[in-house]
Amino acid sequence: MIVLIVKPFNVSAQVFEKGNFAGLEEMKKSERLFNKVAPMGVNDIMMAVQYRHTSLPPLALPITSFDGLADGTIDRGNMEQWAQYTSGKFTNVPIQGDHYFVSSRYREVLHLCKLQLYKECAIERQRNSVQNSAIPHL
C-alpha cells in the first residue's frame, strides 16, 4: 500500500522542479491543479522506479505511437524504440503539442487511431482473402 502525503504547494513544487516533469509551469499557476496532478506524478515516478523489464517475444501486431513535438520530457526519436516490440509494422505519429497533447488534440488522435485501424483491417482482410482463395472449394 502506498500512502501519499501531500506537502504544502511550494515544497512539492520544489520537488517536482528537480525532475523533468511536463506541465510543471502550468501546475505552478494553480495550487488546485497541482494538488490534483501531483499524486499522479508521484505514482508515475514510483512505477518507473519499481519497473523491472522482462524480455518477451515481439507482438505479432502493428504498433502506432504518438508523441508531442514540443514534449521536453523525452528526446526526439525515443518513441522509435517501440518498433522492437512488434514483428509487425511500426508507425510513430508526431503531434503538435507538449507531453499532454492528447488532452488538447484528442479529436486528432482519435481520428488518426481510426485511420490506422481501418488501414490495418483492410490489409488483414486482403491477406485473408488471398489465403482463402488459395484453398480449393469442395
Query: In the prediction, which pLDDT does 19 show?
Result: 53
pLDDT band at 10 (very low <50, low <70, confident <90, very high): low
CA angle 53, 57, 58 (to 5 degrees): 95
Higher pLDDT, 49 or 112: 112
What is the pTM (predicted TM-score) of this model? 0.63
> Hey, which bits of the chain come out as E strands?
63-68, 90-95
Rounded mean pLDDT, 78-88: 92
What is the rounded CA–CA span in Å between residue 73 and residue 62? 25
Give the whole-angstrom CA distance, residue 75 versus residue 102.
18
pLDDT in tens, 47-57: 877 888 899 99
Q: What is the pLDDT of residue 35?
A: 79
pLDDT at residue 92, as a whole number: 93
pLDDT band, residue 46 (cuts 50/70/90): confident
